């Protein structure tokens, strides 16, 4: 649809703009303010300039949690996106069965995040949890509170369980939007299943996949509550992701300046990656 150019449309956007600006810009400015000061308590703050930023860039603990974070987000995307597409392809197209599948698949999304953590905390326990018990029965030594690798895999599995449904729902809605004529044409051409997927379904899924990748990247990058409830960041600091390091720093140790400086850097990293991804995709579109 060709749109009319009219700057008066801003009046319609204004409420959204004001509301989001109120909740976003004021806290952001406060964080910027923290990041250039050394704060000891109420009324005791000293301007330190860019010192926190310099310190943060060389901080080993933060660098470690950043690396863990990238590994985690990468693993999350690598598993959830293909799995979500697969699930969406398998879901019945319509009818009662379709609706039923939709509702059942959506269940993990409707559970508050701390409850998700609680569910897995119990479910993965070796003594009273079905999952932990089953793994132990199979003769594998599994203990997510003691073993680093087990803890990591449990957090990953929990995230896959929790969020693959979102990718699946997005892809499902993308698939439903493909006109039947496309499939009929493919049938006449005797296209293989793979060709139908590669040349009809995948290109048509692109727009929802972009959103799915963006949402999953952003949300997995700031995952906090679920691993916090499940493992508390342990054992050691193996599942302490960025948000948790920052929260401990800001609230636990009241090291506001440093935490603020790092969250700004962290915000910029996420923003940069998302923006690069976003523009790369839209540019590729224009060239076609």
Partner 1 sequence: MRQTRSKNIGITIYILLLLTPVYWLLNMSFKTSREILGGLTLWPQNFTFDNYTVIFTDPSWYNGYLNSMAYVSINVVITLLVALPAAYAFSRYKFLGDKHLFFWLLSNRMAPPAVFLLPFFQLYSSIGLFDTHIAVALAHCLFNVPLAVWILEGFMKGVPREYDEMAYIDGYSFPRFFIKVFLPMIRSGIGVTAFFAFMFSWVELLLARTLTSVDAQPIGAIMTRTIGASGIDWGVLAAAGVLTIIPGLLVIWFVRNHVAKGFALGRV
Among 50, 74, 173, 192, binds partner 1 (CB under 8 A): 173
16 binds partner 1 (CB under 8 A): yes
By C-beta, is 152 or 220 nearer to partner 1? 220
The DSSP H or E segment spanning 39 is strand 37-41
DSSP state of 169: H
By C-beta, is 123 or 142 nearer to partner 1? 123
C-beta of 273: minimal distance to partner 1 in Å? 9
71 binds partner 1 (CB under 8 A): no
Report d(CA 21, CA 271) in Å as an integer: 17
Contact string 204-233 vs partner 1 (x = CB under 8 A): --xxx-xx--xx--xx-xx-xx---x----
**Total residues at the site for partner 1 (CB under 8 A)?**
103
Is the CB of residue 244 less than 8 Å from the CB of residue 237? no
C-beta of 100: minimal distance to partner 1 in Å? 9
C-beta of 189: minimal distance to partner 1 in Å? 18
- 164-187: burial string, b at 16+ Cβ within 10 Å, e else: bbbbbbbbbebbeeeeeeeeeebe
By C-beta, is 26 or 202 nearer to partner 1? 26
Residues 99-138 that bind partner 1 (CB under 8 A): 99, 101-115, 118-120, 122-123, 127-131, 133
**Cβ of 220: how many Cβ atoms within 10 Å?**
20
Residues 188-207 that bind partner 1 (CB under 8 A): 193, 206-207
156 binds partner 1 (CB under 8 A): no
Which among 172, 175, 194 has a CA at the least distance from the CA of 88? 172
By C-beta, is 9 or 71 nearer to partner 1? 9
By C-beta, is 63 or 176 nearer to partner 1? 176
81 binds partner 1 (CB under 8 A): no
Report d(CA 193, CA 275) in Å as an integer: 34
Is the CB of residue 122 less than 8 Å from the CB of residue 145? no
Report d(CA 101, CA 8) in Å as an integer: 44
C-beta of 236: minimal distance to partner 1 in Å? 20
By C-beta, is 112 or 139 nearer to partner 1? 112
Residues 228-257 that bind partner 1 (CB under 8 A): 229, 242-244, 246-247, 250-251, 256
DSSP assignment of 77-130 equals: HHHHHHHHHHHHHHS-SSHHHHHHHHHHHHGGGGS-HHHHHHHHHHHT-TTT-H
The DSSP H or E segment spanning 38 is strand 37-41
Choices 46-54, 148-156, 182-190, 263-271 (CB under 8 A): range interacting with partner 1: 263-271
Q: Is 285 left (phi over 0), alpha (psi -120 to 50) or beta?
A: alpha
C-beta of 155: minimal distance to partner 1 in Å? 14
20 binds partner 1 (CB under 8 A): yes
Torsion, Cα of 167, 168, 173, 174 (10° steps): 70
């Amino acid at each position: 649809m060709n749109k009319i150019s009219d700057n008066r449309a801003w009046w319609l956007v204004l409420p959204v703009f004001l509301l989001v600006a109120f909740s976003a810009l004021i806290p952001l400015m406060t964080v910027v303010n923290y990041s250039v000061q050394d704060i000891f308590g109420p009324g005791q703050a000293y301007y330190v300039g860019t010192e926190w930023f310099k310190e943060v860039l060389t901080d080993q603990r933060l660098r470690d949690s950043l690396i863990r974070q990238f590994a985690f987000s990468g693993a999350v995307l690598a598993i959830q996106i293909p799995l979500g597409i697969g699930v969406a392809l398998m879901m019945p197209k319509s009818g009662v069965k379709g609706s039923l599948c939709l509702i059942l698949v959506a269940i993990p999304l409707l559970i508050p995040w701390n409850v998700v953590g609680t569910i897995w905390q119990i479910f993965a326990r070796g003594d009273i949890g079905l999952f932990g018990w089953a793994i132990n029965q199979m003769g594998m030594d599994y203990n997510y509170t003691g073993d680093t690798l087990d803890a990591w895999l449990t957090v990953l599995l929990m995230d896959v369980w929790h969020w693959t449904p979102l990718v699946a729902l997005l892809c499902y809605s993308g698939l439903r939007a493909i006109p039947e004529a496309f499939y009929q044409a493919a049938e006449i051409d005797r296209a293989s299943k793979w060709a139908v997927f590669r040349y009809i379904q995948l290109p048509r899924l692109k727009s929802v996949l972009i959103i799915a990748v963006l949402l999953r990247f952003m949300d997995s990058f700031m995952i906090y509550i679920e691993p916090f409830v499940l493992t508390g960041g342990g054992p050691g600091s193996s599942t302490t992701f960025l948000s948790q390091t920052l929260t401990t720093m800001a609230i636990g140790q009241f090291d506001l300046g440093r935490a603020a400086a790092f969250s700004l850097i962290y915000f910029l990293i996420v923003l940069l990656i998302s923006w690069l991804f976003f523009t790369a995709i839209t540019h590729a579109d224009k060239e076609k």
